[in-house]
Structure 1
Amino acid sequence: MTAAEPEPGMTAAEARMTARTRAWLDQPALARLWDRLRDRLERNGLQVRGRLRLDGVTAAEREALALLTGRPYAGDTVSISLADLDAQLRTGAAERGLVEVVAELRGPLTDRPAARDARRATAEAIWTATDDALRSRGLADAAWSRPWLDEVRRAGTLARLAPDNGKRLIVQAVDVMAVLTGPASPDPAGMPGRGELAERVTGTAHGLDDGTLLSRIVLRALARSLELPTPQDARSRRELWEAAGVAVDRVSTTVLTLGLEPLGDESAVRLLRDRTRAGFETHLTLRDLTRITWRLAPDTEVFVCENPRVVEAAADRGCVRPLVCASGNPTTSVLTLLDALHAAGARLAYRGDFDWPGIAIANRMIGRYAARPWRMRATDYEQHVATARDRGTPLPPLTGTPVDALWDPELTPAMTALGVAVQEESALERLLTDLIPPCESPQ
């Protein structure tokens, strides 16, 4: 091959390889060589070193390779020095080195080792920024933070983003968790809605909408912080936001009530009082709760249950004692109502399930409101278990890590010894007797 004059319209770089030279180099007999060289050079970091071996070489390939390298070959195996081929190309018609020729024939080459190093550097920059954010927000020692970060790293999603985008996103996730769980986080009842939270952290009210990468990362952190499963559908995502004290909106989630009779003459108060006197249960939204000024009769006691079945049975029996259902782990709506009732002077009595999650929730509720345990002492648990066994009713086994019941030091040892869970609705008859006047205070 000999050098040729530049063709009209060619750039200086293109002038080094004429169409005729390119066509010769791009012939089918050399196709396997360039394909193999592309892979080798990319793996080598575009370094021209080593030898390339081709097996099963055809007569047409052998002839073309001999003309390309200036060396005769015999047999069906050919070994080519990359450095020698590079020198031959530079002094031949191509007038450029091996890397440039392969790029001309097979498209731009990627320096794979350099790309891997760049990805590692990008990832490390992301995790360094995350560690800095966790420390500055007081979350570095949170039990959930390290497992969460390990999970996000394994997913690899952030590493595939542009570096600045990856760092921005993970730091925003830390900022959200700082608002919800950090040392300076607000009282759960005063948490912002999801749109307000998103606007505060991301600058847009839609920054935490379902389907955004930020919301998925935050929900993974929330699930770990609350020791709940990672949500898999729209309903479980909403429930997890609510469990963290964040209202997705102010109308779709409610708190179930029965027997509430606030004082006053506002329209919202009259409507609630009318439903109560008619014996109806009422679902109150967050918007409803903001419309009511809570004033209560002196010495009002409000019972709080965990399972909606208690409210349903109480309504069927005509119970009139005030009753609020937490529906499991209390949501923003539940806490907003209970905070308002507590601030208005109500005494609260709390009852939940006799299992470890139920004890954990009861600890929070009893501690928050100085509530009276409602049939939730060791003697109540033992009585429930004995009654169930006398009736031949199977009880589910206790699972998970034991939780100390802060209001009764004998309860956790009793539950551990008997090893069974008692759901709230299993004690329905005893609970209903406390809700129907005249009513004796439970022991």
Structure 2
Amino acid sequence: MTAARFDRPELAPLWAAVRRRFEATAGPVTRIRLHGLEPAERAALADLLGLAYTPESEMTVSVRALDRILAAATGGLDTRALVEAIGGPLSNRVEDRRQRAAERADLWQWARRHPMVAAEPALLTWLDRVRAGGLVAGDASATRALLEQAFEILGALPATGEPLAVLAAQLTGDSHALDEDSRLGKIVLRALAALHGVDPPTDAEGRRRLWECSGVACDELSTVVLVAGMRPEGNGPLARGLRAWADAGQASVVTLAQLNRYPVGPLHGPVFVVENPAVMAVALRRFGATCPPLVCVAGWPSTAAIMMLRGIAASGVPLRYHGDFDGEGLRIAAHVMSRTGAEPWLLRAEDYRRALPGSGPPAGRVDDAPWDPRLAEVVRAHGTALLEEVVVESLLADMVAHVDGDGADEDIGTRAGEDPPAGRPLG
């Protein structure tokens, strides 16, 4: 007798329950619990099991007893074989769950080890939020593909002022890929929010500001960078203007429009990069026309600042970056270094310890500092911000060595065996 005899609507609840238990259980299945049986289904079960009574709407069926009955009726098929003959092969749902769990673990391990996350650990906050939101369509491979696209876009930022649709078309082939209602657009904006230490935007104005901070659809004239002591080679208008202001001992403002049209030519380095304009003001008062090449990013760097620094680095001139020792300052430092190849300048754990004042503002949320694994731990432990203005004398003293031509090839971080001059607040 074939299995077809048992493929009847009245027995369908039994085979469905058996399939669910077999697929969901790693070990042997001994009993099947049935619920909500209709009268015809109860009668069919009584006939199959050889019962002298009609069972209730809820009953338990012994798999061992069912095996004996089916083997005798079919010439050897047990319960598992019969269910597969009726409904196709059983899947191993336990193994499927294990495999999906392993795929998810591999996905998040890959994402957390991505070079962009290693360079800017603030992105770990973003990944945690993405993970909490669940996989795309429950699929690890689809989620990985989305994250790969997001990493590619983040790596291409800051842009140079092009509209969002143009950037999307350039990077994805779809001008609408980064629209506000697109999955990719939302996930990239969340990443930018994490980098800047702000909440993800909830309105059009917030989204516009974040994109502008990344050089998308930004104003070429109002997107600027502050520089001093820059004497690039070349006869272009920007090079001539920078040399003139450097000779006058004055800072100058360079616009994104100027950089797009007149790239900065080769210059002598290293180039020092600071976070706060007050440091540049003191440097100019101290050095005047002999001020070394100095760039101020003024908080989160503009597209003009990143573009200028990338151009300088591409010419082979070393960049040395310093900023505030607090959560925001360290995120800015990681961003500048990852986007431009700048090296830390008096911005290590030992520099923080030596110059830390007795009191100061709170450090805020402190993400890891890739250039010095100890730094974030030390700042978190003290919980006190060390602002750049407090250590200005240490910075200027280090620059003096280069103004005098001493130590130009030396690592400009904390020198072995030498304490930096004691810092003091400006003013």
Which has the higher mean CA deviation after the structures are superposed, 326-335 or 187-196? 187-196
Which secondary structure state, in structure 2, belongs to the residue aligned with residue 283 of structure 1?
Answer: strand
1:337-348 equivalent positions in 2, closer than 5 A: 337-348=308-319
Residue in 1 that maps onto 2:235: 265
Identity of aligned residues (%): 31
Distance between the aligned counterparts of 1:177 and 1:224, measured in 2? Answer: 16
Residue in 2 that maps onto 1:360: 331
1:166-315 equivalent positions in 2, closer than 5 A: 181-183=150-152, 186-190=155-159, 193-195=162-164, 196-197=166-167, 221-226=190-195, 227-230=197-200, 239-298=209-268, 300-315=269-284
Distance between the aligned counterparts of 2:185 and 2:158, measured in 1? Answer: 23
What TM-score, normalized by structure 2, do the two folds share?
0.52
Residue in 2 that maps onto 1:383: 354
Offset of residue 432 of structure 1: 2.4
> Cα 1:370–1:286, aligned 2, differ >3 Å: closer, same or farther?
closer
Q: Is 1:423 aligned to residue 423 of structure 2?
A: no
Distance between the aligned counterparts of 2:284 and 2:362, measured in 1? Answer: 31
Distance between the aligned counterparts of 2:292 and 2:299, measured in 1? Answer: 21
Structure 1 residue ranges without an equivalent (≥5): 1-134, 152-174
Distance between the aligned counterparts of 2:213 and 2:169, measured in 1? Answer: 20
> Cα 1:247–1:177, aligned 2, differ >3 Å: closer, same or farther?
farther
> Cα 1:219–1:379, aligned 2, differ >3 Å: closer, same or farther?
closer
Distance between the aligned counterparts of 2:229 and 2:393, measured in 1? Answer: 18
The one-letter code of the counterpart of 1:398 is A
What TM-score, normalized by structure 1, do the two folds share?
0.51
> Cα 1:440–1:395, aligned 2, differ >3 Å: closer, same or farther?
farther
Residue in 1 that maps onto 2:303: 332
Distance between the aligned counterparts of 1:413 and 1:326, measured in 2? Answer: 25
The one-letter code of the counterpart of 1:303 is F
Distance between the aligned counterparts of 2:190 and 2:314, measured in 1? Answer: 32
Residue in 1 that maps onto 2:15: none
Give CA-to-partner distance per residue, 1:212-245, whole Å, 9 cap, x none.
8789968863554434234589996665224434
Is the 2:239–2:265 Cα contact (8 Å) retained in structure 1?
no
Which secondary structure state, in structure 1, belongs to the residue aligned with residue 152 of structure 2?
Answer: coil
Is the 1:194–1:249 Cα contact (8 Å) retained in structure 2?
no
Q: Is 1:434 aligned to residue 398 of structure 2?
A: yes
> Cα 1:410–1:314, aligned 2, differ >3 Å: closer, same or farther?
same
Offset of residue 260 of structure 1: 1.0
Which secondary structure state, in structure 1, belongs to the residue aligned with residue 260 of structure 2?
Answer: helix
> Cα 1:429–1:198, aligned 2, differ >3 Å: closer, same or farther?
same
Distance between the aligned counterparts of 1:146 and 1:364, measured in 2? Answer: 19
Residue in 2 that maps onto 1:100: none
Which secondary structure state, in structure 1, belongs to the residue aligned with residue 329 of structure 2?
Answer: helix
Distance between the aligned counterparts of 2:302 and 2:311, measured in 1? Answer: 14
Which secondary structure state, in structure 2, belongs to the residue aligned with residue 396 of structure 1?
Answer: coil
The one-letter code of the counterpart of 2:305 is V
Distance between the aligned counterparts of 2:325 and 2:247, measured in 1? Answer: 32
Which secondary structure state, in structure 2, belongs to the residue aligned with residue 183 of structure 1?
Answer: helix
Aligned length: 275
Which has the higher mean CA deviation after the structures are superposed, 187-196 or 414-423? 187-196
The one-letter code of the counterpart of 1:363 is A
Structure 2 residue ranges without an equivalent (≥5): 1-106, 115-122, 134-144, 416-427
> Cα 1:320–1:309, aligned 2, differ >3 Å: closer, same or farther?
same
Is the 1:177–1:221 Cα contact (8 Å) retained in structure 2?
no
Give CA-to-partner distance per residue, 1:255-310, whole Å, 9 cap, x none.
11111111011222212211221122111111111232433245x21001111221
Distance between the aligned counterparts of 1:313 and 1:237, measured in 2? Answer: 36
Offset of residue 254 of structure 1: 0.6
Which has the higher mean CA deviation after the structures are superposed, 192-201 or 414-423? 192-201
Offset of residue 421 of structure 1: 1.3
The one-letter code of the counterpart of 1:371 is A
> Cα 1:312–1:178, aligned 2, differ >3 Å: closer, same or farther?
farther
Residue in 2 that maps onto 1:397: 362
Which secondary structure state, in structure 2, belongs to the residue aligned with residue 416 of structure 1?
Answer: helix
Offset of residue 197 of structure 1: 3.1
> Cα 1:408–1:350, aligned 2, differ >3 Å: closer, same or farther?
same
1:81-230 equivalent positions in 2, closer than 5 A: 144=126, 147=129, 181-183=150-152, 186-190=155-159, 193-195=162-164, 196-197=166-167, 221-226=190-195, 227-230=197-200
> Cα 1:291–1:440, aligned 2, differ >3 Å: closer, same or farther?
same
The one-letter code of the counterpart of 2:404 is P
Is the 1:176–1:197 Cα contact (8 Å) retained in structure 2?
no
Distance between the aligned counterparts of 2:146 and 2:251, measured in 1? Answer: 36
Residue in 1 that maps onto 2:371: 407
Is the 1:223–1:229 Cα contact (8 Å) retained in structure 2?
no
The one-letter code of the counterpart of 2:245 is R
Which secondary structure state, in structure 1, belongs to the residue aligned with residue 253 of structure 2?
Answer: strand
Is the 2:161–2:217 Cα contact (8 Å) retained in structure 1?
yes
Which has the higher mean CA deviation after the structures are superposed, 186-195 or 311-320? 186-195
Offset of residue 419 of structure 1: 2.4
Q: Is 1:323 aligned to residue 294 of structure 2?
A: yes
Which secondary structure state, in structure 2, belongs to the residue aligned with residue 255 of structure 1?
Answer: strand
